[in-house]
A = this chain, B = another copy of it.
């Protein structure tokens, strides 16, 4: 792993941020005496220079960095079934392998647990930097992990990820394309089966879903919040198909929920795509295996993981890193979407 060879001191951070050494110290010790704006600027500069308090230990660690951390706050079973994360991890590994580096992978039960874990990983020099995923609105990790100077790349829209350099997919644009496509086919009652409300990208997709319907002059469609599992997708689909205002099209926030939805439609004798159109997200190989095959918002998840990892190496090399989107998921129409029959 390429790392800066010059040892960065608190003086360099102070100079680059245009403040005194005392101000840097106050900011990192979470003491009053510096404004929020100054504190944020100091953290950003320190992050960029790769400086953290107790710098001699840090400098030492930076010379032997060969591990990248990733904590995922999802149930273990879901990790094995949800193709997104394994493809994402395979993309991370493809870049790490080129550089003789390993991934330290951990499932956590809460973001608070992740904060403690990342602090420990960084303090004990177990990782040289981390990839942070699944940002929440007002994400609690931003403050503490920014303060300790953890080199990190955030996977999520910059509006969610605080000062961390981020790599993200433009979920709002992709949702708008999905809804407009279903509307063009003639659907007027479109439902959305989304992820947990607390997740930032779920909230962005839900807002975009409602805004696009409104722009098209369509009624606000039903939105069901789920935990991303196949069972959740089945339950949501069943409840939508039993409702008085049964939708003619459903947009899902991943592909295992759409696959489960297809099963529920068959079980209830609802014909896809004649009576119901289903549109999946992520587009792993699952979508090409079902019968009928699933239309999906498709993106290169392996390439996404690889790109995030390359940006982390740029951060670790002290390069100027700006947040950037990867390619927006685009529609791949297959056999599960059509004009509504009635």
- Please report A residues at the B interface, Cβ cutoff 8 Å: 64, 67, 76-81, 83, 85-91, 93-94, 96-97, 102-109, 117, 124, 126, 230, 256, 259, 285-286, 289-291, 301-302
Contact = CB atoms under 8 A, between A and B. Distances in A.
B76 A80 contact: no
Contact of A93 (B67, B102, B106, B126): B106
Contacts of A83: 80, 86
Nearest to A109: B97
Contact of A289 (B91, B103, B286): B286
Contact of A291 (B96, B286, B290): B290
Nearest to A256: B285
Contacts of A290: 289-291
A78 B302 CA distance: 11
Contacts of A89: 79-80, 86, 105
Among A80, A87, A289, chain B packs the most CB atoms within 10 A around the CB of A80
Among A64, A106, A108, chain B packs the most CB atoms within 10 A around the CB of A106
B81 A93 contact: no
Contact of A104 (B80, B102, B302): B102
A105 to B, nearest CB: 5
Contact of A94 (B77, B102, B230, B302): B77
A102 B106 contact: yes
B93 A79 contact: yes
A180 B81 CA distance: 31
A67 B126 contact: yes
A81 B285 contact: yes
Across the A-B interface, the 8 shortest Cβ-Cβ residue pairs? A80-B90, A291-B291, A76-B94, A80-B87, A86-B86, A102-B106, A79-B90, A97-B107
A87 B85 CA distance: 11
Among A87, A102, A124, chain B packs the most CB atoms within 10 A around the CB of A102
B76 A91 contact: yes
A176 to B, nearest CB: 28
Contacts of A106: 93, 96-97, 102-103
Contacts of A286: 285-286, 289
26 contacts: A67-B126, A76-B90, A76-B93, A76-B94, A76-B302, A77-B90, A77-B94, A79-B86, A79-B89, A81-B86, A81-B90, A89-B105, A93-B105, A93-B106, A93-B107, A97-B109, A102-B104, A102-B105, A102-B117, A103-B104, A230-B285, A256-B285, A259-B289, A286-B289, A290-B290, A290-B291
A80 B80 CA distance: 11
Contacts of A86: 79-81, 83, 85-86, 89
A81 B97 CA distance: 18
Contacts of A126: 67, 126
Contacts of A67: 104, 126
A276 B77 CA distance: 34
A265 to B, nearest CB: 14
Contacts of A302: 76-77, 80
